[in-house]
Amino acid sequence: MLDLRRLMFFFAYLHRPPWDSGLTPPELLAFLQERAPGRALDLGCGTGTNAITLALRGWQVTGVDFIPSAIWQARRKARQAGVNVQFLIEDVVRLERLRDPYDLILDIGCFHSLSEDGKQRYLEQANRLLVPGGTWFLYAFLSEGTSPGISPTDIERMQRAFHLISRIEGVDHHKRLSAYFILQKN
């Protein structure tokens, strides 16, 4: 049976979800300029915008999302862009089918939407799938009281498995506190 979170995302992808701008964030583009291509995993890839950006820059990319219509759109966009990206319908907290390690895990707005248990399972998957010294590039809302996002406790949990390289805070167009994190696997 579908849970409420999955149902909300399912209905959002019947149209264009408000978070699907179709644009790669400048923070990610700047990050990619400083990195040689390798293997990348885009968690919560949606319609594939950022996975396609990585592939266009020479990365071997796997994109994962649990909403079939998002993955179907991502596959279509990749064909139109002329790039080869493996898109999988999977839940980011259950990635047992993925075995090979990645140099980069990308997450633009997925982790912050998970339950506490989901965040813990996500971190276990990310730790398992990143090569030693691999990078986790994360964009997330910062929790303010009862609002969704990542809390100081979440950040502490993240830093137990990953070394914080940088944190750039800002606000999104709805004036929600957010941050880009670059973390490296210990």
Strands (DSSP E) contained in the chain are 39-43, 60-65, 85-89, 102-108, 130-141, 162-171, 177-185
> How many domains does the structure of the chain reveal?
1
* Rounded Cα–Cα distance for residues 161 and 140 (Å): 18
pLDDT over threshold 70, residue 15: no
Structure token digits, residue 119: 């965040």
**Sheet with 102-108, side-by-side order of all strands:** 85-89, 60-65, 39-43, 102-108, 130-141, 177-185, 162-171
Provide the residue range defining the domain that includes 174. Answer: 4-185
Tens digits of residue pLDDT in 41-75: 999 999 999 999 999 999 999 999 988 999 999 99
* Rounded Cα–Cα distance for residues 186 and 184 (Å): 6
Query: CATH number for the domain including 37?
Result: 3.40.50.150
Tens digits of residue pLDDT in 110-133: 999 898 999 999 999 999 999 999
Tens digits of residue pLDDT in 129-157: 999 999 999 999 999 776 778 999 999 99
Tens digits of residue pLDDT in 70-117: 999 999 999 999 999 999 999 999 999 999 999 999 999 999 989 899
